[in-house]
Amino acid sequence: MSEEPLPPHETLRKARELIDAGRPFAAHEVLEARWKAGPAEEADLWQGLAQVCVALTHAARGNQVGAQRLFERAGDRLSAFASTGRDAYGVDVTKSAAQARRHRGTF
């Protein structure tokens, strides 16, 4: 994966494509590049989405504790971003945060 950040909508499209292909860690890398290059006020959005992908990776590898911790952190970051009312490029951040938290204890 390239470390060059993609534009926001393309980042989301590519991350979804990678997740659908069973490559959540690669999706994390795409989201991480956007997070590191993006404006500070969007950090919680991109980092939260990236953490969901790492949580999925941990879950797929059988690391229940790691997955649960990252889903919780992702939920916290996404909730923090949702509370700002900023545009999330079409992502329902409140719903995404709730969904991340629902994964706790489900492995």
pLDDT tens per residue, range 51-90: 999 999 999 999 999 999 999 999 999 999 999 999 999 9
Give the integer Cα–Cα distance in Å for 105 and 23.
23
H helical segments located in the chain: 8-20, 24-37, 43-60, 64-82, 93-102
Give the integer Cα–Cα distance in Å for 31 and 45.
10
Give pLDDT, residue 4: 87
- The pTM of this model reads 0.93
- β strands within the chain, DSSP E: none
CB atoms within 10 A of CB 103: 19
Residue 48, φ and ψ in degrees, nearest 5? -60, -45
